[in-house]
Amino acid sequence: MDMKKRIHLELRNRTPSDVKELVLDNCRSNEGKIEGLTDEFEELEFLSTINVGLTSVSNLPKLNKLKKLELSDNRISGGLEVLAEKCPNLTHLNLSGNKMKDLSTIEPLKKLETLKSLDLFNCEVTNLNDYRDNVFKLLPQLTYLDGYDKDDKEAPDSDAEAYVEGLDDDDDSDEVDEEEEEDEDEDAPPRKEDDDDEEEEEEEDLSGEVHLNHCTVTSLFEYDPGHMTREILICICLLLGGRGGVGRQGE
């Protein structure tokens, strides 16, 4: 499907000014150029043209509100100066899998003052010595290059701005999680070791009680088993939990 027809289908009975996101991945460009996209898409904030055979972005219309531009897996080798003119508020640019060979090809991006994230994966320029250091020097406005900042910390989200704004929310969330864990610990049942200790103590108590009762009964028998009444024997049996042996000994 060619790009022009794909744009028509993506509109879905909407006007271009109603569209904020437009995905044209894997369709066919016209001789390596963008086709069918006009400046009527004045509210467009996200445009994706992955693997459409682009060799140039010269036909890109004026898109003042565009924030994110996906151009990966094409054949673009230069001509990026048009981006600062047509997309002055761009914050995220993905050029992975294109034909960028040296730093001069990305130098025009210096004019994109709001650019925070740039991806150049699988471009020859990434093979240059001190590639990352040189790109950060060339484009000081960048926060992330190929998904990592200057300190090699990975971007947790493709939207660096949203990440920065969400730091406070993450901290609050961590505090809530810690409080929930503390509550769970307080409500949790005793550990098995504690249960085992209690059971052993109970067994020792019962054992001591039985031993005491047995000694008491034995003493009674030794004192004068012949004068023990039936009522006393019944009480002794009840005391020992109904042990039949005591009754037989009394008889």
Residues 183 and 240 in one domain: no
Residues 87 and 167 in one domain: no
Residues 91 and 146 in one domain: yes
Residues 104 and 178 in one domain: no
Residues 42 and 114 in one domain: yes
Residues 197 and 171 in one domain: no
Residues 16 and 118 in one domain: yes
Q: Is the pTM of this model over 0.85?
A: no
Strand locations in the chain (E): 21-23, 46-48, 68-70, 92-94, 117-119, 144-145
DSSP letter, residue 193: H
Q: How far apart are CA 212 and CA 66, in angstroms?
A: 89
Mean pLDDT of the chain: 79
**Tokens 């999680």, residue located:** 177
Show Cβ contacts of residue 192 under 8 Å, excluding neighbours closer than 6 positions. none
Residues 168 and 241 in one domain: no
pLDDT of residue 238: 72
pLDDT tens, residue by residue, 146-197: 999 999 999 986 454 443 343 344 444 444 344 445 544 555 555 555 555 5
Residues 105 and 52 in one domain: yes
Residues 59 and 71 in one domain: yes
Residue-number span of the structural domain to which 107 is assigned? 3-155
3-state secondary structure of 147: coil
More confident residue, 172 or 120: 120
Q: How far apart are CA 67 and CA 88, in angstroms?
A: 9
Provide the domain count of the chain: 3
User: Which CATH number does the domain housing residue 36 bear?
Assistant: 3.80.10.10
Q: How far apart are CA 138 and CA 214, in angstroms?
A: 94
pLDDT tens, residue by residue, 51-106: 999 999 999 999 999 999 999 999 999 999 999 999 999 999 999 999 999 999 99
Residues 33 and 121 in one domain: yes
More confident residue, 117 or 208: 117
Residues 24 and 127 in one domain: yes
| Mean pLDDT for the stretch of residues 206-213 | 44
